[in-house]
Amino acid sequence: MAQNLQQIKKRIKTSQNIFQIAKAMEMIATSKIRKAQLSVERYNPFAKKIIYIVNKILADKDLDEGIEKYASKRNGAKLVFIVAPDKGLCGGLVVNLFKKAVSYIKPDDFVITVGKKAAQSAPRNNFNVLYHFNMGTNFPKFDDIFPMIKTATKFYLSGEVTGISIVYTEFKNMLIQTPQVKEILPVERDKNFVDNGIDYIMEPSGLKVLEDLIPYYLEVGFYDAFMNSYASEQAARMTAMKNAKDNAQEISASLSNIYNRSRQEKITNELLDLANGQQGM
């Protein structure tokens, strides 16, 4: 009985340690989400303006012939970026992300993985992986995405691929994170685009302005996907750690009850043995 009590006591200590670790990781993830939300709010005006100007140019019918390189869909291999966390402990986020990737990526497509979890899972699905970039554990910076944009632009303009896409996890709220596919190039015209009625004069030409805007358009698309992926990772980890914390607390309470009952039973048996011994005398 003494040995069993010692084992129960060790399990209680273990569950309490898990509770403390999970609680700390939950708090860290919560603070990172708040920072991500604030950064998204600050970045949105710039992103919306870039997207508006691009759609404004695409709405000009006189540019149809010149923008085929950027706005016309063609058959052929795509270059797909898969954005996943560097670390685990975020529930089924990576599994759900790769289910989406498998359903979208074709055998002749090229893949660039972002994040260690993406690098680990891509070979298992027989993807044609070209390069790998780390996701990092801090909020993404512009410097992190520039090499990726340069690589994407090189492949697209050389004609080696006919499209650039990103498979990532969209952050909807603290409880819902959904895998999504964002097709960056060719540029898709927004069917719901509403012109503000202002007639802009574009020099030297609308096509030239569009070509100069493409790097910024790619930056907006990539950075939005990275911010969503980062926020989704933290939200998924926060939920997973909260569940782990609650389970550890429940196990600790259950084991404490078992320990107390066993200890009380042991004391009672010892008292009975002592009483029986005195009666025998």
- Domain with residue 186: its CATH number is 3.40.1380.10
Number of domains in the chain: 1
Residue 229 inside a domain? The answer is yes
pLDDT at 1 over 70: no
Residue 60 C-beta-side C-alpha neighbours within 13 Å: 20
Q: Classify the C-alpha dihedral 248-249-254-259 as positive or negative.
A: positive
Residue 84: what pLDDT? Answer: 92
Range of the domain at 224: 43-237
User: Mean pLDDT over residues 224-232, rounded?
Assistant: 87
Using CA atoms, how far apart are residues 188 and 165, in angstroms rounded to an integer? 12
Confidence of residue 278 (pLDDT cuts 50, 70, 90): low
Q: Is residue 90 part of a domain?
A: yes
Q: What is the edge-to-edge ordering of all strands in the sheet holding 177-185?
A: 128-133, 110-114, 78-83, 163-171, 177-185
Mean pLDDT for the chain overall: 82
Instruction: Report percent pLDDT > 70 for the chain.
Output: 88
Residue 113 has pLDDT above 90, yes or no: yes
Domain assignment of residue 254, yes or no:
no
Angle at 231 between CA 226 and CA 233, to 5 degrees: 95
Res 130 pLDDT > 70:
yes
- 10 within some domain: no
Can you give the pLDDT at residue 99?
A: 93
Q: Which of 53-62, 168-177, 215-224, 240-249 is the least confident region?
A: 53-62
- pLDDT, tens only, 187-208: 876 666 666 666 767 777 777 7
Mean pLDDT score, 153-163: 88
Question: Does residue 137 form part of some domain?
Answer: yes
pLDDT at 185: 85
- Torsion sign across C-alpha atoms 144, 233, 96, 180: negative
pLDDT band (50, 70, 90) for residue 127: very high
- At residue 111, does pLDDT exceed 80? yes
Over the stretch 24-48, which tens digit does the pLDDT of each residue have?
A: 888 888 888 887 777 777 777 877 7
Distances (CA, A) of 166 to 9, 78, 105: 50, 10, 11
> Taking 90 as the threshold, does the pLDDT of residue 103 lie above it?
yes
Q: Is residue 97 part of a domain?
A: yes
> What is the mean pLDDT of the segment spanning 4-33?
84
Is residue 279 in some structural domain?
no
Residue 274 belongs to a domain: no
